[in-house]
Amino acid sequence: MEETPAVQINHLVKEFPSPFRKSKVRAVNDVSLNIMPGEVYGLIGPNGSGKSTTMKALLGLLTPTAGSCFVFGKNSLKTDSRQDIGFLPENPYFYKHLNGEETLRFYAKLCGLRGKQLHQRVDEMLEMVSLEDARHRRIGGYSKGMLQRIGLAQALIHKPRLVILDEPTAGVDPIGSRMIRDLIVDLKQQGVTIFLCSHLLEQVQEVCDQVGIIFHGKLVKEGKLNDLIAIENQTEILIQNADAETLERIRGMIEQQGSAQLLNIGKPRTTLERLFLDEAEKSQSSIHTSSKEPTEKGASDA
Ligand SMILES: Nc1ncnc2c1ncn2[C@@H]1O[C@H](COP(=O)(O)OP(=O)(O)OP(=O)(O)O)[C@@H](O)[C@H]1O
């Protein structure tokens, strides 16, 4: 028997009335895509290309002008399709006077959790997004990174099978972004299906199995990430500890072969993000070490 897709979007069209023109704005133009259970799908595109509108139609928050959306086989317009979904909107809004723990308890109750199960799940989520220390702080005082993490925790509180993340790392610094990325990888390992959109292409590349590129509401390219980014007529050979003589011999062998052309011999580059995170980690651990070591003054005072 064929497996039911976690997400099925069929020829979705969404038009909005335009306040200044007689014609309508076509935000999504005949988009079709499928996401199988356990896959991580990244929808990428410039501002205003229709990513959020596609997600909102899948969530049943917008009615399609044409076409249809299904979540694990249930039509998105039916309320019960939402039971399987966790959603982190682009700019999550919370009650500012509640603290982190109260916020999660509120969402857990909305999802039908009660008693011991509710308390356990709230604790688990606060630990998962590393906000245990901030559980009693009012949400109004949370930083952007903390807000995204509590947003992620509310999206996951009821153990959804599908998680929809609209720009999960928007406005979050690289360390916070890395943490959210790691959480996405953990969810994927647990078999959760993830549908996300992001402007951070490097992150999409790190976590997604499938990618769709959307421009002006149209899906212009779609497929497995590794197939899309492979350069068909090139081969990469990565060698460690090769001396100059070996490299020269390899160069000679390639040059002897008529059609082959050596494009580059050089050192592979790390990413700027990786470099930044490594340096941040180093300075964090040196602060940690120096705070344990007695300073000269402290030592003489002792
Ligand atoms: N409620 C609405 N009423 C009118 N027009 C809308 C509405 N929502 C979205 N649009 C328009 O639809 C188009 C697609 O918007 P959408 O928010 O889906 O893009 P996006 O790709 O998510 O952009 P961003 O990356 O900036 O979040 C834009 O032209 C936008 O102005």
What is residue 121's predicted lDDT score, i.e. its pLDDT? 95
pLDDT of residue 300: 40
Residue 92 has pLDDT above 70, yes or no: yes
Q: Tell me: the pLDDT tens digits for 150-204?
A: 999 999 999 999 999 999 988 888 888 888 899 999 999 999 999 999 877 888 8
pLDDT tens-digit profile of 225-249?
A: 888 887 778 888 888 888 999 989 9
What pTM was estimated for this model as a whole? 0.83
CA distance 52 to 35: 17
With cut-offs at 50, 70 and 90, classify the pLDDT of residue 128.
very high
Report the nearest-CA residue for atom 29 of ligand 1. 48
Return d(Cα 203, Cα 198) in angstroms, integer.
Answer: 8
Complex-level ipTM beyond the 0.95 threshold: yes
Q: Between 39 and 296, name the one with better pLDDT.
A: 39
Ligand 1, CB cutoff 6 Å, lining residues: 16, 25, 27, 45, 47-53, 90
Mean of the per-residue pLDDT values for the chain?
Answer: 88
Under DSSP, is residue 226 helix (H, G, I), strand (E, B) or coil?
A: helix
Going 141 to 148 to 172 to 62, the CA torsion angle's sign is negative
**Closest ligand 1 atom to Cα of 52:** 22
Query: In the sheet that 7-17 helps form, which strands lie side by side, from edge to edge?
Result: 24-35, 7-17, 66-71, 74-75
Of 104-113, 214-223, 250-259, the one with minimum mean pLDDT is 250-259
Per-residue pLDDT of 194-227, as tens digits, reads 999 987 788 888 899 999 989 999 998 898 888 8
User: CA nearest 165: which of 250, 247, 86, 246?
Assistant: 86
pLDDT at 40 over 50: yes
Pick the residue whose CA is nearest to atom 8 on ligand 1.
53
